[in-house]
Amino acid sequence: MTLDLRFYLSLMLRRLPIILAITITATMAGVLYAISLPPVFRAESRLLIENAQIPDELAASTVRSTADEILLSIQQRILTRENLLTLADRHSLFANAPEMAQNVKLDQIGSRISMYMPTTQGNTGVVHVSFAAGDPELSAVVTNDIAEQILQWNTELRTRASGSTLDFFDQEVRRLTDELSQQNAKILEFEQANRDALPESLEYRRTRQASQQERLLQVNRELASLRDRRDRLTELYDRTGRLVTSETDRSPEQERLEQARQELASALVVLAPSNPRLRALQTEVAALEERVKAQLGASGGGQLSAFEVQMLDIDGQITFLAEQKKLLEEDLVKLEASIEATPGNSIRLAELQNNYETLRVQYEEAVTSLSEARMGDRIEVTDRGQRISVIEKAVPPPFRAEPNRQRITIAALGAGVILSAALLVLLEILNQTVRRPTEVIKALGVAPFGTVGYLPGPPERTGMTLNRVAVLLALLINIPMILLAVHLYVAPLGTLLGFAPDAAAEAPASLTE
């Protein structure tokens, strides 16, 4: 099926008055609407977001928020209910409507504020701030006020963030200092309470234990020898009534003293001065010297026999060695107890030291972070970090920003064309008249042998009537609209028609009456 362009073109020409009437009426309605809208002026201020003036490699700010995050936070604070109402009262934005509800005021003033930041280059960008108002002066004043709020909020948010960071790390350093002191006191208290069972002296105590055990064996042997000698001397004296002396007539104490001195001389060459074995020999030599002196004094007085002197000497040695044995056994018990307690003490001490080391590492990190926080806070306080500055203040705009009357007029013209086209389509759908050979074929189902030329008839006259009615309606609608527009936006019709002077002349007369 081919498209009959000639038929549709002729149809449009016949309906041209209707198309023009609808299009002109819609266009005039759009023009009147565009003229009736109040002018809206939108002053704009530009703010620059600048990078930090000090490189991060030298000193970094502790505020890590991006420009978008800062702007979003500031925008939400500016658009709060309290701030918007304060802004409206400060600039008397609704002085002509004191009875307006607060929710309506908030919706209107919120929709008139615009803050826009295009894509940033790194952390640098330009923020566009504007405010829509019917008065260009008011628009500029409110826009500059909002820009000042942005600067204040930016400074407050950044200094508050850096100050909060500084306070946190300051408190953290104080807390860790106290915990370190407490942990150190626990370690010292534990070491003081277990000073004889600490792991660092374990090897010394094991060596001492072996030495004391050897010394204990020696003391036991000496005690056994002395007791055997005493028994033999007693038995000999009981049987013979006298004692056998040596060729040199030296007493046993003198022989033992000589032997002890030789052992002490040998020990001084091998052992250290602080060795327990050496101290025991020195004590034994001193005791033997005292006994020999006592025996020599007793023999000079003639009060004791040789047997009694020897018995006293042997008993004194046995008593001394018994005391030494007791001390050695007590010392061995203590050493064994301390050695058995050392593993547990080692675990507990290691736990305390690990806790201390953990706290020390945390303390060092906190001190480093505190130093960085102080530097970052100083950067923000002195405004050396990322900042926002006004590069262009808002000035009263010479031209309105809204409404775009040209766009409204073009939209109304397009709407008129669409409405007229829709009306033509509707009329064609409703018109069932056969006007073309193809419609004859479609209606009868057969092909005609010929066609008769165009003859005007009643449908044509009806079409002319519709065109005339459309033109008449367009005139009746458009003429009042044009007169109303001229009366409201050009000059009163009374002035244009010459009626205003008569009305002015009658006014004084009415006043005098």
Q: Which part of the chain has CATH 1.10.287?
A: 204-341
Is residue 37 within 8 A of residue 132, CB to CB? The reply is: no
Burial label, 143 (beta-carbon count in 10 A; 0-12, 13-18, 19+): buried
pLDDT tens-place values along the chain, 513 residues long? 455 667 667 777 777 777 787 888 888 787 777 777 777 888 888 888 776 666 555 656 666 667 777 788 888 888 888 888 888 888 888 888 778 888 888 888 888 888 887 665 556 678 889 998 888 888 899 999 998 988 888 888 888 888 888 888 899 999 999 999 999 999 999 988 888 888 888 888 899 889 989 999 998 998 888 888 888 888 777 765 555 444 445 567 777 877 887 787 777 777 777 788 878 888 888 888 787 777 655 554 444 566 777 788 888 888 888 899 899 899 999 989 988 888 888 899 899 999 999 999 999 999 988 888 888 777 777 666 677 888 888 888 887 777 777 788 788 888 888 888 887 778 777 766 666 666 666 666 666 666 665 555 555 444 456 666 666 676 667 677 666 666 555 556 556 555 554 444 443 333 222
CATH number attached to the domain at 204-341: 1.10.287
Q: What is the 3-state secondary structure of 312-369? A: HHHHHHHHHHHHHHHHHHHHHHHHHHHHHHHHHHHHHHHHHHHHHHHHHHHHHHHHHH
Burial label, 77 (beta-carbon count in 10 A; 0-12, 13-18, 19+): middle
Burial label, 288 (beta-carbon count in 10 A; 0-12, 13-18, 19+): buried
24 three-state secondary structure? helix
pTM score over 0.85: no
> Facing residues of 125 across strands?
49
| C-alpha pair distances (Å), 253 with each of 45, 245, 247, 303 | 116, 13, 15, 18
